[in-house]
Structure 1
Amino acid sequence: MKKVMANQAPDPVGLYPHARQVGNLLFLSGVGPRKKGSTEIPGVTLDEGGNVTSYCIETQCRSVFDNVRYVLEASGTDWDALVDVTVFLTNMDDDFAIYNKVYAEYFASNQPCRTTVEINKLPTPIAIELKCMAVIESD
């Protein structure tokens, strides 16, 4: 088993790697929209108390997809290797249509299995997180 840390992806919020490779399978830890080296979350406005006052789900989606790509590349693979994606949204009613539109842009050629669920909240003030699995082709 090999641990993977991606230099371009944001640091994990706990004691876990960005991904773990087991044989030719790659399991990504939950990936959110945060940016490496910053406390700001793309598309999120917080008040002084750290509460979300507004957010843009499209901006967060694009940032999450970029972060997934960084982890895949650090693992020696690419976007087309994704085989399963679980998406966690905190507001399905307001965000699903926009998220689904952006998702279709990024996954037009590679269409992994997908599950989308609504959850009450995530560990940081974000509206989307992805859990992904990929296959790493051996040479």
Structure 2
Amino acid sequence: MSKINAEDAPKPVGLYPHARKVGNLLFLSGVGPRTAGSDANDSGVPGLKLDHNGNFLEFDFEAQVHSVFNNVKRILEASGSSWEQLVDVQVFLVNMKRDFHTFNKIYAEYFKENQPCRTTVEINSLPTPIAIELKCVATVE
């Protein structure tokens, strides 16, 4: 088993790697939409601005979806895999009612060719002020 950390992806918010390779499978840790160079204390989330109390001043869910997909791509490529080699995507949304339709529409744009298995669930919260996180499995050749 090998641990992989992608230099151009946001740092994990805990002691875990971006991914682990086991045989020809690649398991990604939960990936959110933060930008590289940001950390858990600095929102660094596209489309999100918070006031000093942590309340939303601006919220753009579409920007978060595009950003999380880009972060997954960066980790896959740094791991010797690719978008086309994704086989399973678990999606965690903090507001299914508000965001599922938008997510589903954007997801369809990114997965026209490769169509991995997918599970989408609503959760109460995530450890940083984000609205989406992905957990992915891909193959590595």
Same fold, judged at TM 0.5 (above): yes
Which residues of 2 match residues 1-139 of structure 1 at below 5 A?
1-38=1-38, 39=42, 40-137=44-141
Counterpart code for 1:22: V
2:84, 2:46 → 1: CA distance?
Answer: 25
Q: Which stretches in structure 1 are left out of the alignment for 5+ residues?
A: none
- TM superposition score normalised by structure 2: 0.94
Q: Per-residue displacement from partner, 1:58-84 (whole Å, max 9, x unpaired)?
A: 100000000000000000111011000
4+ residue segments displaced more than 6 Å: none
RMSD of aligned alpha carbons = 0.9
2:61, 2:22 → 1: CA distance?
Answer: 32
Counterpart code for 2:53: G
- TM superposition score normalised by structure 1: 0.95
Identity %: 66
Q: Alpha-carbon deviation of 1:96?
A: 0.6
Counterpart code for 1:86: Q
The count of residues paired between Structure 1 and Structure 2 equals: 137
Q: Which stretches in structure 2 are left out of the alignment for 5+ residues?
A: none
